[in-house]
């Protein structure tokens, strides 16, 4: 008998899909991509559900899985190739670039690993030690990546009047 039930899974997931989509969207910058990452993370979680009862901090566990899915997909993406010159369109197209915020665009301008550091450290409020664990690098690397990322973001943000910050808040 599973030590965690389907009912507990549903209760856990339904309360967190929004936050997981948010984190995935910050990482990959694309609604559909974010949903794919969350879908795969939750599928993995469910397939292990009966075995995770000893995990004390389930949220941290799931966040780690989510970031690993994102980075694995990016890494594997190098191998993943489609033949056609087009990609299937989804039912709804994303908003045009100009409707996206300056902050969003700046974040997406960071390379994937730097972006993961920024998202985990500043937007998911994970401590440096935890970020290092999730990303498989040293705490020093996390600090230097965060510092480099913020330097790059400052180049963009320093051009912004403070008012833009407010406009970005939708």
Partner 1 sequence: MTDDDRAVRILRTMPDDPPLPSTVDVERTMAEGRRRRRVRRWSGGVALVAVTAVAAGGGTVAASALRDTPAAPVKPVTVPSKKAPAKVAPVVPKDCKVTLLPSGEVKKALVTAGDPTGRYHAGRVYPRPGGVHTVVWKDGELLPVPNMPGSDAGFRDINSSGIAVGYSYVGDEERAYALAGGTVRRLAGGRAVAGAINDRGVIAGTLGGAFDGGTPVIWKSYRAEPTRLALPSGITRGSAAAIGEDGTVIGAIYRNTRDEGIPYLWRPDGIGRKLAVPKGATGFWVSSISNGWLYGSAVHDAPDGSMRSFTSYRYSIAANRYEKLAVQLSNDALGAENGWVLSTIADPVILAGKRIVKLPRYNKMKEYQVTAFSADGKTAAGYTTDSTDNEVVANRPLKWTCR
11 touches partner 1 (CB under 8 A): no
The residue count for binding partner 1 (CB under 8 A) is 96
Beta carbons of 152 and 109 less than 8 angstroms apart: yes
145 touches partner 1 (CB under 8 A): yes
CB of 69: closest distance to partner 1 in angstroms?
A: 8
CB of 38: closest distance to partner 1 in angstroms?
A: 5
Hey, CA dihedral for 59, 65, 68, 72, is it positive or negative? negative
Of 1, 15, 85, 98, the residue at the interface with partner 1 (CB under 8 A) is: 85
Residues 6+ apart with CB under 8 A from 149: 110, 114, 115, 117, 118
Residues 6+ apart with CB under 8 A from 39: none
User: 66: closest CA among 138, 13, 6?
Assistant: 13
27 touches partner 1 (CB under 8 A): no
Of 66, 107, 120, 126, the residue at the interface with partner 1 (CB under 8 A) is: 107
1 touches partner 1 (CB under 8 A): no
109 touches partner 1 (CB under 8 A): no
Residue 73 vs residues 54, 68, 69, 70, 119: alpha-carbon distances, Å:
28, 8, 6, 5, 17
DSSP 138: -
Task: Give the whole-angstrom CA distance, residue 105 versus residue 107.
Answer: 5
4 touches partner 1 (CB under 8 A): no
CB of 111: closest distance to partner 1 in angstroms?
A: 4
Of 1, 7, 83, 159, the residue at the interface with partner 1 (CB under 8 A) is: 83
CB of 40: closest distance to partner 1 in angstroms?
A: 5
168 touches partner 1 (CB under 8 A): yes
> Hey, what are 35's tokens?
């949903």
Of 4, 58, 109, 133, the residue at the interface with partner 1 (CB under 8 A) is: 133
């Amino acid at each position: 008998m599973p030590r965690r039930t389907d009912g507990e899974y549903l209760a856990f997931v339904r309360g967190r899909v929004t936050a997981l989509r948010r984190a995935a969207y910050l990482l990959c910058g694309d609604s559909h991509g974010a949903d794919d990452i969350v879908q795969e993370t939750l599928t993995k979680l469910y397939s292990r559900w009966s075995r995770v009862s000893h995990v004390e901090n389930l949220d941290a566990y799931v966040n780690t899985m989510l970031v690993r899915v994102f980075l694995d997909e990016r890494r594997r993406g190098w191998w993943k190739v489609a033949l056609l010159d087009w990609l299937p369109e989804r039912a709804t197209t994303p908003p045009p670039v100009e409707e996206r915020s300056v902050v969003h665009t700046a974040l997406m301008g960071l390379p994937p690993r730097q972006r993961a550091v920024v998202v985990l450290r500043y937007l998911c409020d994970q401590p440096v030690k935890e970020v290092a664990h999730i990303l498989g690098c040293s705490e020093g690397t996390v600090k230097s990546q965060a510092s480099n990322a913020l330097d790059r973001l400052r180049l963009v943000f320093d051009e912004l009047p403070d008012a833009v910050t407010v406009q970005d808040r939708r």
